[in-house]
Amino acid sequence: MKLRKAVQTALRSLVLASLCGVAFNATAETPAAPQEPAKQLPLEELRLFAEVYDRIKNAYVEPVDDAKLLQDAVRGMLAGLDPHSNYMDAEEFESLQVHTSGEFGGLGIEVGMEEPYIRVITPIDDTPAQRAGVKAGDLITQLDDKPVASMTLEEAINLMRGEPGEPITLTILREGRDAPLQIKVVRDIIHVASVKSRLLEPGYGYLRITQFQVNTGKELIRQLEKLREEGELNGMVLDLRNNPGGVLQAAVDVSNAFLSEGTIVYTEGRLPNSDQLFEANGQTVAADLPLVVLINGGSASASEIVAGALQDQKRAVIMGTDSFGKGSVQTILPLAKDRAIKLTTARYFTPNGRSIQAQGIEPDIEVANAELKPLDSGVGHLKEKDLSGHLENGQNSEGEAAASRVQDKALLREDFQLFEALSLLKALSIVKLQDK
């Protein structure tokens, strides 16, 4: 009853403040909203809240903690706004900071669920797990003395993370070993690379961004320079498929690596500091390199900023399928006790003024993912090299050409969209040579 009276007193204070035109600002860090005429709070809804609160406290089948009930009310208030605004407790706030920074205390292994155990997909190079002898394919059955069979994958991952220097013992089942292994691993700072690179074949590079972290722009430039050390590049594929987004500034940095001038993205919102314009600063490292960008329905937010900027600026060919369509900006507003809210504060627009919200980026060339098996068109056809006594070619290019064909067929089987992107880059390279 005392708590109900306290809630009602607080509600009455809010009503009085509304009637008097007083603006409440919870923290000094929260930006002040534009001045609007004072409006009365809806008294009927406030009474309803107090009544529901009272009914839950008195009639719910089990006792409910007051702090949890109020915290859940805050969660519901934010969740009702849109799918991307939410409340974060201390643990969730810390997890968000880990994902955006790309650094955390842990073991350095990629894992997946294989009921009832956790399977090691791969240990990351030069991490505590690799140095301790953890191998791909290992099944983790216990973390210290806790069986993983009773955990979710997220719970197991959280348990493996921790302060650098803290040890944890993994109980592991390994193929070829009769008895379980116990491997002690000492946690360390793990750096998660958001950019991966490789050569598809000589002259054609591949950059894959898994998520947009604080240092993704710098990491992309390092990976690009690494590819250039292996030889001159005739074209590049930038793979943004299934990339959920991340830090806005990272998307600007990545776009700037390929754009020498012009607008990248701009945002508009109700707060004065929500209206921002981001332009290329001329410090591009690949302004003329032929570029194909791959997107799909899992490409969202920052991925769409990059794809939209490069598409509007006619800098790249966008290939794949329609992107997700998340064209809103979320601002992290810290609260007391290491908590925060993630609040949608603006919409973003491509250089040509397109809003991506609930629409997405349409590719210039639509290529759905598919599994294809190339037909052998040479069956039954006799060639010159099959004739008895044929003249030798006199050159050694056949081996290289055959190797290239083998690579193409393998790529065609593994990733049809990437195969098509590489084929387009080769065509663009041929046209570019003819223009010289």
Q: Is residue 301 annotated as a catalytic residue, yes or no? A: yes
Rounded-to-integer distance, Cα 30 and Cα 421, Å:
45
Q: Which of these is catalytic: 194, 301, 303, 323?
A: 301
Cα–Cα distances in Å, from 287 out to 67, 220, 236, 257? 55, 14, 12, 7
> Contact at 8 Å (CB) between 46 and 14?
yes
Rounded-to-integer distance, Cα 81 and Cα 72, Å:
15
Q: Which of these is catalytic: 194, 303, 326, 342?
A: 326
Q: Which of these is catalytic: 312, 323, 328, 342?
A: 312
Q: CA-based angle 311:315:320, to the nearest 5? A: 50
Q: Is residue 326 annotated as a catalytic residue, yes or no? A: yes
Backbone angles phi, psi at 196, to 5 degrees: -120, 150
> Contact at 8 Å (CB) between 343 and 349?
no
Rounded-to-integer distance, Cα 59 and Cα 126, Å:
56
> Contact at 8 Å (CB) between 292 and 317?
yes
Q: Which helix (H) or strand (E) holds 268?
A: strand 263-269
Q: Is the peptide bond before 83 cis (omega within 30 degrees of 0)?
A: no
Q: Is residue 312 annotated as a catalytic residue, yes or no? A: yes
Catalytic machinery residues:
301, 312, 326
